[in-house]
Structure 1
Amino acid sequence: MSGVQLGVLGQELVPQSTGYGLLIGLGVAFCGVILVALKIQRAYLSEDSGTSEMFMVANRSVGIGLTSSAVFSSWMWINETVFSAAMCYRYGLAVPLWWATGLCFQIALMAALGVLAKIRVPYAHTSLEIIRMRYGNIGHVVFIILNITNNVFGCASMILTGSQLIYGISGMHFAAATVLIPLGVVAYTAVGGLKATFLTDYLHTTIALILIIYFTLSTVTHDAVGGLGGLYDKVQATAAQNFVRGNYEGSLLTFKSKEAIIWALILKFGNLALVVMDTAFWQKSFATEVNATVPGYNLAALAIFGVPWGLGTVFGLTARALHNTPIFPTYPGPFTDSMIKAGFVMPYTIKALIGDKGIVAFFVLLFMALTSTISSSMIAVSSILSFDVYKTYINPKASDKKLVQVSHLTVAFHGVFITGIALALNYGGANMTWIGYFRPILSCPGIIPLGLTLLWSGQTRNAAIISPILGFFTGLAIWLGTSKSLYGEINMTTTGMGLPALYGAIGSFFSPALYSVLISLYKPYKFDWRIFLRIELADEAQLARSSSVAQQAHSDATSTTSQEPEKDNKAHGNPVADTGVLDIASHDPERARSVQEKNPKIFYAGSDDSAASIPLDEIQHPLDAATLQKLHWWHRTAWIMFIVIVLVTFIAWPMPLYRNYIFTKTFFEGWTTVAIIWQFFAFFAVVIYPLYDGWSEITKGAKGVYHAVQAFVQSKKS
């Protein structure tokens, strides 16, 4: 199928060889960095990704700085960079701010839900584990499907977009780009687990923000642009050529834009689903320290604001000002709608102003944005498949070592699967705009039922299972019905229009709330939150019993080994060799001891059934009173911050601007200056601060490496 049919035929801005070299070289480089980092972690920081607790939730030990950097990186999708510029080109400067406001409130909400999960289910690994505790296996399976669908579709759409961009600017076949993009990520994610993604997320964030600031400043200060004042003058001078239907007086410099606000609302629904229904964001909250979740997540929420706002405004308007001038790559030909929808606004503007070195740097930025998304998606899906599917339904007695092995395999499986989905979307003719409109309809139905699992004790099992299914079909029917009603037919073009997608997203998001309440009221039931603790403590009791068996087995194995060869141990069915229970025994002894002291009856119960039947009044929360008090304080703080962010970014800031007003030159210069300053704030928040926050670990690892190198040199000399 040709590029014309796919709608991504563009100008070859760099040779194919450069594209292949960058994709393969960057993937290999990141694998090398992670392997070195893992060696240092094991040797000097007592962190081993060979345990499931470390692989899935990083031993729940991640601090504020690394949390903010990892959340920022996971949320810095290619949308915030490339497509904020493309949508600003189409609808004007209202889009980048709306885009920014559509990114931060979801992270603030996730901070509140994450802390609440720590209070009610303190040792959870995934959000689906909580679903199964409350609603049983059927509810568990329904939400597994919802989560994986959301994750796979979101991740595959990023690979689709990246492959089309790479094809459009380098001529590399999109199928080759589709395969190469996730390949290196599979390698380092499978080896390193969640902590590895935290470390690579930090590297992604650092490199990406440096490049974003470089691109923004280089563009604004270029002679062809002439600073912010020059940009304003050029946009005004070309206003007649750049008339935007639906904007006040057709201006790019007004906040009153009908299409921009429709896009903004769709984006808000879709992005909310991408956070709440993505296990990766729950895992990152489970992985944080008690005092790190709320400040870490909210710091990332504020930092992400500057990326689409500053970058989108500068590049979208610059492309509008220059696209009919000789320096633009498409001149004298037209800059077509298919090119804009494929995201070529930013790379073409970079080529025009910065040249070949700018395109190489853009390639690196593209790689950073894509792989940070893919790595968190891979950990999320592998955790679902290993912990929620394999351990729950296939091998409940799986050892810790076995779980990690399955996690490695599922990372590889997910990489192959999303590559196939991305290729299918490519050949199906999908583009990022259509996917952005469809995704909320697919992903939104589970949001409210999942939130109510932690927030409302009245939601029944039937309500949680049925309401998201009904919600999806409601949204789908509204989307397709509105497309047919407004445009007379249902196809990729009509379903990719703004209004049908908006109405479908609203139906998909809100209808499950109505269904849940009605179904719950039909046969009311009040859930006791202590049941979560009983289930967790029963699991902990099983872990403790496994530990004692393992210790006994290890003792027996030691005495036997002194008398028999190792092969005889295996031949006699030695439990240490066959079951791997020693891995479980060393899982988290300090936690087990703390929980055992508070709940001795559960630990001395004879079986798992009797442990689960301990009266609720006798159950003690496994966290101490001081920790619980802190968590409750953070929970209140998180909701206050969420409400403030919503009020400011939804109402107080944008709404007064939605009027018959075209930005003056002074106001535009001030507006864009603040947006660029926000990029520097983001750099300090998620690049500089994590170094300060983790300085003790950094120095400890550095000293270990220094001493190891010194010892190696001395041994060579001697």
Structure 2
Amino acid sequence: MLWGLGNYLLEQLVAVGHAVSGLTGGAIPYGYAVIGFILVMLIYEWLGGMRAVALTDVLQGIILLVGIIVVLIGAMTLAGGSLGNISQSIAATEPQKIGVPDLQTNINWISMILLAGIGAAVYPHAVQRIYSARSERTLKRSFARMAWIPPITTGLVLVVGIICIVLYPGMETGESEQVIGVLANDIASMNAFYYWMMIIFFGGIVGAIVSTADSVLLSFSSMVSHDIYGKYINPNASDERKVKVGKFVGVIVVFLLLWIAWNPPGTLYQIFVLKFELLIQVAPCFLLGIYWKRLRSTPVFWGMSSERPLQD
């Protein structure tokens, strides 16, 4: 679980660095953006805790939903046409990107979606949020209202990505990770309305990344303090001491991840895959534990210890 959380936090650091660097046209370099993000996140985590995460998520969600709609309208305006014309332009210039994928590619993507969905269901910080709900009724109501949002938001982002194929042809893989920031910069230069909307939109993006990273760091610190320090190292420690130990270790981990994020070991997608390689293999332990009451911790532990990374 700590491995999955560490990768997730690394993903947030790399994402915010690329986003801010792309939005400012390189005026704020990638590394400085990551450092600034870490300082804000640490202050956020030390002062606010999980309640701050929950409250700000509501506002950020509204900002992001409105913002991505404005980004879509602005991108289509820059592209100068409807989605049909954009598709025709892609078909003329890069037909391989609009053609029907072969069977092997389809199988790989479907399996990726299924495995990532199962792995995401056991995100440690997501599990912690479930237990922090006031009641089961509150939890069910929140999930029912939230379920329809991700398909809309991710669907709009997918369409924006397709439009960017026309707007920014020939981008390398590393450059493409800054494409939303570059697009927002170009949209902001169109007029004053788009300028202020992009500022608010990117404020929502950075805020969302901060709150996500903050909840990840809270879960990381909680596991270290309660499941490692409080259980094996110092079982008699007070709650106050365990909290301090967890926060201290969290700060050390953040700066270790800063060192890694300064020169990312791969693209955001590769870090995403690295995170899920372990979570997917841990997921059966949770699924069996929920529905099979005879499951015991010892065979689960030895089974996990013998796992190997998934192969491409």
Band of TM-score, shorter chain: 0.7 to 0.9
Paired-residue identity, %: 18
Per the alignment, residue 219 of structure 2 pairs with: 380
Unmatched runs of 5 consecutive residues or more in structure 1: 1-146, 251-255, 325-333, 480-499, 501-718
**What per-residue deviation string (whole Å, max 9, x for no partner) do you get for residues 41-69 of structure 1?**
xxxxxxxxxxxxxxxxxxxxxxxxxxxxx
Unaligned runs of 5+ in 2: none
Listed one character per residue, the Cα deviations across residues 232-259 of structure 1 (whole Å, up to 9, x for unaligned) are 12321441212126832x8xxxxx8864
Matching residue's letter, 1:194: M
User: What's the TM-score once normalised by structure 1's chain length?
Assistant: 0.39
Question: How far off its partner does 1:275 sit?
Answer: 3.6
Q: Partner residue of 2:15?
A: 161
For each residue in 1:524-551, what CA deviation from the matched residue of structure 2 results, as whole angstroms up to 9, or x when unmatched? xxxxxxxxxxxxxxxxxxxxxxxxxxxx
Match of 1:190 among 46, 50, 66: 46
Aligned mates of 1:348, 1:396 — CA distance in 2: 51
The yes-or-no answer on 1:243 pairing with 2:95 is yes
In structure 1, C-alpha distance between the alignment counterparts of 2:33 and 2:13, rounded to whole Å = 8
Aligned twin of 2:112: 266
Alignment deviations for residues 551-609 of structure 1 (CA, whole Å, 9 cap, x no partner): xxxxxxxxxxxxxxxxxxxxxxxxxxxxxxxxxxxxxxxxxxxxxxxxxxxxxxxxxxx
CA RMSD of aligned residues (A): 2.9
> For residues 94-117 of structure 1, what are the alpha-carbon distances to aligned partners after superposition, in whole Å with 9 as ceiling and x for unaligned?
xxxxxxxxxxxxxxxxxxxxxxxx
378-387 vs 235-244, which deviates more? 235-244
Aligned to 1:106: none
Structure 1 residue 416: Cα displacement: 2.5
Aligned runs of 1:387-536 on 2, under 5 Å?
387-423=226-262, 426=264, 428=265, 430-470=266-306, 472-473=307-308, 475-476=309-310, 479=311, 500=312
* Aligned partner (choices 63, 69, 79) of residue 207 of structure 1: 63
Q: Please list the CA deviations of residues 365-409 of structure 1 after superposition, one character each: whole Å capped at 9, or x if unmatched.
A: 431332122011011111101111222123323333334434443
Query: Is the 8 Å Cα contact of residues 35 and 258 (structure 2) preserved in structure 1?
Result: yes
Verify the 8 A CA contact 1:163 1:178 in the aligned structure 2.
Answer: yes
Which structure is richer in relative contact order (CA contacts within 8 A, separation 6 or more)?
Answer: 2
- Contact 2:60-2:205 at 8 Å conserved across structures: no
What is the CA–CA distance in structure 2 between the aligned matches of 1:453 and 1:151, rounded to whole Å?
21
Q: Which residue of 2 aligns with 1:233?
A: 85
Q: Distance in 2 between matches of 1:283 and 1:201?
A: 15
Q: Provide the C-alpha distance between the structure 2 equivalents of 1:158 and 1:268, rounded to a whole number of angstroms.
A: 22
Cα pair distance change 1:436/1:260, threshold 3 Å: farther
Is 1:312 the counterpart of 2:152 in the alignment?
no
Choose from 173, 177, 184 the match for 1:350: 184
Q: Which amino acid aligns with 2:218?
A: I
Q: 1:260 to 1:159 in 2, by over 3 A?
A: farther
Match of 1:172 in 2: 28
Whether the aligned pair in 2 keeps the contact of 1:163 and 1:175 (CA below 8 Å) is yes
| Residue identity in the other structure for 1:292 | T
Would the aligned equivalents of 1:150 and 1:443 in 2 still touch at CA under 8 Å?
yes
Distance 1:402 1:409 in 2: 10
How many Å separate the matches in 2 of 1:415 and 1:408? 10
- 1:292 Cα deviation from its structure 2 partner: 1.4
Please report the TM-score for the alignment, with normalisation by the length of structure 2.
0.84
Larger gyration radius, structure 1 or structure 2: 1
Amino acid in the other structure paired with 1:389: I
Whether the aligned pair in 2 keeps the contact of 1:270 and 1:444 (CA below 8 Å) is yes
Classify 1:172/1:200 alpha carbon distance in 2 versus 1 (closer, same or farther; 3 Å): same
Preserved contact between residue 200 and residue 372 of structure 1 (Cα < 8 Å)? yes
Amino acid at match of 2:40: G
Query: CA contact under 8 A between 2:10 and 2:261: conserved in structure 1?
Result: yes
Residue of structure 1 aligned with 2:74, choices 194, 212, 218: 218
SS in 2 for 1:170: coil
What does residue range 637-652 of structure 1 map to in structure 2 within 5 Å?
none
Distance 1:263 1:345, change over 3 A: farther
Shift of the alpha carbon at 1:287? 1.2
- Aligned partners of 2:184, 2:103: CA distance in 1, in Å? 27
Q: Secondary structure of 1:240's match?
A: helix
Counterpart CA distance in 2 for 1:364 and 1:257 is: 41
Any residues of structure 2 matched to 1:548-697 within 5 Å, and which?
A: none
Q: Deviations over 1:11-36 (max 9, x none)?
A: xxxxxxxxxxxxxxxxxxxxxxxxxx
